[in-house]
Each structure stands twice: as C-alpha cells, then as structure tokens.
C-alpha cells in the first residue's frame, strides 16, 4: 500500500479513496499537469498480474473502456503497467457513490430521484453495450454521483470483473467474482453473460433504491446466490407501498430469471421506469402498450430532477405481471425437512388431485398450512397427518448433496415424520409465509425457511410450496414443493 506523498510514475499519492477485491483506488495528482485523478492499482497477485494473458486482456479492455465517450461513463485517462503493477487512472468525481447515498437513506430514495439516477446509469450501459463491453458488476458502489448540475451519474469499473473471470465466475483461486446481491442467474451458473446480465443487475439496483434494501437479503452469500437462482422477486410494494404498480412491474421484468424475458436493453429499462411514473392529464399513470417497446413519448428522464440523459424514439412497457397475495405476519416453526439423518431434506409433495378436490380461498389455505406448521412444531404427528390428503406424496431433495427421498400416501409420510421426531434432532429454524397463489383447481402457499441444525452442525435455506385443495368440504395439503441448500 502506498502512503501519502509516495510517487507512482508521474503521479503523487494524496490519499486512499477505497479498497476492493481487485485493488486499491488512490486520490493522486499528475506531477506535470497538476490534474487530480482516481488511480487504481490492481492487486499484486502473481496468479493474475503474472499471467501474460491477463495483462493483455487488462490493457485491451482498458482501451475499450477509454473509447466510450458518454457523459455517464467515468472517463479513463491512462492505463498500463509500471514496476510490475497494473494501473488505470480515471476522472476524480467529487461526491459519493450510490452505496454511500443508500447507507444514508435506509428507507430508500424518493421515487423520482431513484428513477433519475437509474436512467442515467442505463444510458451509460447502453453506450458500453453498443461497443461490445459488458460490465458484469453493476452495483451501487460502482455508480458514482457527483453534485455537478444537480446529480450526475458516472458508471465506473467497466470490464474489470470480466478481466478476472474471463467467461466464468471464478478466479484461479475459485473465489466468486461479481457481487451476489446484484448478480444475474446466468452469471452465477456460468452461462452466457451478455447485456441482459447488466439489465438484471440494474433492476436489482432500482429495487434497492426504492426500498432501501437489497432484493434478496440473506445471512450468507450462498443463501443469496441460491435466492438469485430460484426465488421469485420479492413483492416490492409490500416493502414500499408508495411505489406505483407500474414501476413495481418494471422492476419485476428487469429481474426476470430468464434473460429473454427482461428488457431488451438497459435503455429500455430506463425509459420504462421514467414512463411508469409519468402522470396523465387525469393524474393516473399513462397506459403503456404490451411488448418490448411502447410508443414514443415526449416525456423523458430530462423531466426528472436528475441530469438529462440521451433520449430514444421508443419507451418499453412494463410487461403485465400477475400479483400475488402475501401473508404479512412471520411464523416460527421447526424444520420441515429433517427426513435424512445426514442432510436437511427439502419437501416436495406432488401427485394427482384427490377425487372431489377443488381450489380453496387464500385465507383457508393459509390457515391449514399454519395448522400444519404448528402441529409440526409441537411434534403432534396425528395433527400433522390430518392436514394432508390421503394420496399425498413426499419428495425430499437436498442441494448440493443431491439427496432425494420419495414417500407416497399418508402411511409412508407418517412413518417418515415419526422417524424424524424419534431421532430428536435439535434445530433452530425460522420461517414465514411468503405468498399465496390461486388457480382453478388449487391454492398454493409458499413458505420461506432458514434452519440451523444444532445436532448435525449445518445450516440450510429452503422454500416450500404447499398446494391446498378442498376435499369433501375440507381444505387439505395435497402437494408441497420445496427446494433447500446446505451451507
């Protein structure tokens, strides 16, 4: 680490601006022309800097980043290698990054302000994507906000995570590359990473700005990664009721698990967010056509409090998203999946509907699930079985062990629970009902749980979906579908 007053080439070190997983950013001054810059020195890591192909990619990507001439892209002045250290110099922005702003606003930002900042970051990404550069690490810390002309956004660190990872998410030391809280599913799973991954990350950033929290807040990074891959987008309006439905739909589409279901470009996302908060003459949000792009509008991000950004001839719509009812009260239960002695089981009950089965109301479905959970907590075996249909099928699955257990009918399920209760494992588990979905023939209640198993010394995160049907006038659990991961 360089101290204040130290020299690095033509630069004098004036202080440390920040540290990250790839290097240290210094405030520095060019000794000849006197310009203040942000000087980033890459880690002195033999696995990276000693790799000739890495150095070549670093210089190539730095040149590409420097070629992006856009008002919302942080300008790159110089890059190279000096005394065995790779470096890059960038414009010094007087202000804060978005992470610092959010830390000062734990309840989230004012809606108009959040959309204004988003639209500028989206314009920067569009400019980079047109040049074939995918950011891969869009997050609040890489969105710099200066005080010039109101609030002006600069997107920084283009291409650097891609340099480390190449086409994967692992460095040579097998550490996760990217920021899990904002990382697209395909990037986590090692799939093809393109502009859609940046759209997803920007959707996560918008969620954070509107609510004051990350979309998938979990206790461990493994749990966050699992949620990014499997869990539905949390209902934004339950966290921030003042957010318009149209804007909540924009966030959900941006964060679709499938890249093909997201906005076609970051600019489309930005314009959709702007359109979602523009009122009509009647005071209601303007209607938007379905599909990837809606008709052009006169309104743009320039009408917002943030700095103007480039306009486009089209504004994409917020694709209709089916809303889900969510039970608002948390519930405490014991583990739903201790079927195997060596693993935290994940329950997935599947089977044909019982004769005479039909859908039930959300309230009655949640009530029978609550009764099941309460009975499980007290290990009242008869009461647990009484909540299930006669032909219930239990399938327990565990990741990453790949353990799968199948039980069919009440008797086999009873035997499995009885074995579990007699084993006497001690667990500390918290759970809550996340949402309730109703179809023509059934109602599904989804429960989110986190378990710390004291006996086995492991931790597991899971989501269990209970399908509830009405049989002879009684609501019963006919299907439970759950996914769980050990950590």
Q: Catalytic residues, which ones?
A: 137
Backbone dihedral angles phi then psi of residue 361, each to the nearest 5 degrees: -70, 160
Distance CA 86, CA 84 (A): 7
H-run or E-run covering 267: helix 266-276
d(CA 28, CA 31): 9
Structure tokens at 113: 């302000």
Burial class (CB in 10 A: 0-12, 13-18, 19+), 478: buried
Contact by Cβ (8 Å): 55, 49: yes
Omega into 347 within 30° of 0, i.e. cis?
no
Nearest CA among 411, 3, 70 for reference residue 266: 70
Can you name the residues that pair with 449 across neighbouring β-strands? 431, 462
CB 169 within 8 A of CB 177: yes
Beta strands 95-97 and 143-146, pairing class: antiparallel
Tokens of 115: 């959309």
Side-chain-side CA neighbours of residue 235 (13 Å)? 14
Those residues whose C-beta lies under 8 Å from the C-beta of residue 386, and which sit 6 or more positions away, are: 375
Tokens encoding 269: 């996302």
């Amino acid at each position: 680490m360089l101290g204040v007053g130290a020299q690095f080439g033509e630069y004098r070190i004036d202080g440390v601006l920040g540290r990250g997983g790839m290097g240290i950013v210094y405030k520095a001054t060019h000794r000849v022309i006197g310009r203040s810059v942000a000087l980033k020195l890459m880690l002195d890591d033999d696995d990276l800097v000693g790799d000739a192909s890495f150095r070549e990619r670093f210089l190539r990507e730095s040149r590409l980043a420097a070629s992006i001439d856009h008002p919302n892209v942080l300008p790159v002045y110089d890059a190279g290698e000096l005394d065995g250290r790779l470096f890059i110099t960038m414009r010094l922005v007087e202000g804060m990054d978005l992470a610092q702003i959010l830390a000062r606003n734990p309840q989230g930002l004012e809606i108009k302000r959040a959309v204004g900042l988003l639209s500028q970051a989206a314009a920067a990404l569009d400019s980079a994507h047109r040049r074939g550069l995918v950011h891969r690490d869009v997050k609040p810390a890489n969105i710099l906000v200066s005080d010039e002309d109101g609030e002006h956004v600069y997107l920084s660190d283009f291409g650097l995570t891609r340099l480390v990872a190449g086409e994967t998410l692992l460095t040579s030391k097998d550490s996760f590359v990217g920021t899990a809280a904002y990382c697209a599913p395909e990037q986590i799973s090692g799939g093809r990473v393109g502009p859609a991954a940046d759209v997803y990350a920007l959707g996560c950033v918008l969620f954070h700005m509107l609510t004051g929290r990350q979309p998938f807040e979990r206790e461990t990074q493994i749990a966050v990664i699992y949620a990014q891959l499997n869990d539905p987008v949390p209902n934004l309006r339950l966290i921030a009721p003042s957010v318009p439905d149209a804007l909540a739909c924009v966030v959900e589409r941006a964060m679709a698990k499938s890249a093909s279901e997201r906005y076609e470009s970051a600019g489309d996302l930005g314009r959709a967010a702007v359109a979602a908060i523009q009122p009509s003459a009647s005071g209601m949000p303007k209607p938007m056509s379905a599909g990837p792009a809606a008709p052009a509008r006169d309104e743009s991000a320039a009408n917002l409090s943030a700095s103007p950004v480039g306009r486009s001839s089209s504004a994409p719509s917020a694709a209709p998203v089916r809303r889900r009812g969510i039970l608002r009260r948390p519930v405490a239960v014991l583990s739903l999946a201790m079927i195997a002695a060596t693993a935290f089981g994940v329950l997935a009950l599947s089977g044909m509907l019982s004769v005479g089965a039909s859908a039930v109301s959300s309230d009655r479905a949640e009530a029978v699930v609550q009764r099941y959970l309460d009975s499980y907590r007290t290990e009242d075996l008869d009461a647990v079985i009484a909540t299930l249909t006669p032909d219930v099928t239990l399938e327990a699955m565990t990741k990453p062990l790949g353990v799968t257990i199948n039980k069919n009918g009440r008797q086999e399920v009873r035997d499995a629970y009885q074995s579990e209760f007699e084993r006497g494992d001690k667990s500390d588990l918290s759970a809550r009902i996340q949402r309730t979905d109703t179809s023509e023939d059934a109602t599904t209640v989804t429960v989110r749980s986190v378990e710390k198993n004291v006996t086995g010394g492991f931790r597991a995160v899971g989501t269990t979906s209970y399908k509830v049907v009405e049989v002879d006038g009684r609501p019963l659990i006919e299907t439970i579908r759950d996914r769980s991961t050990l950590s």
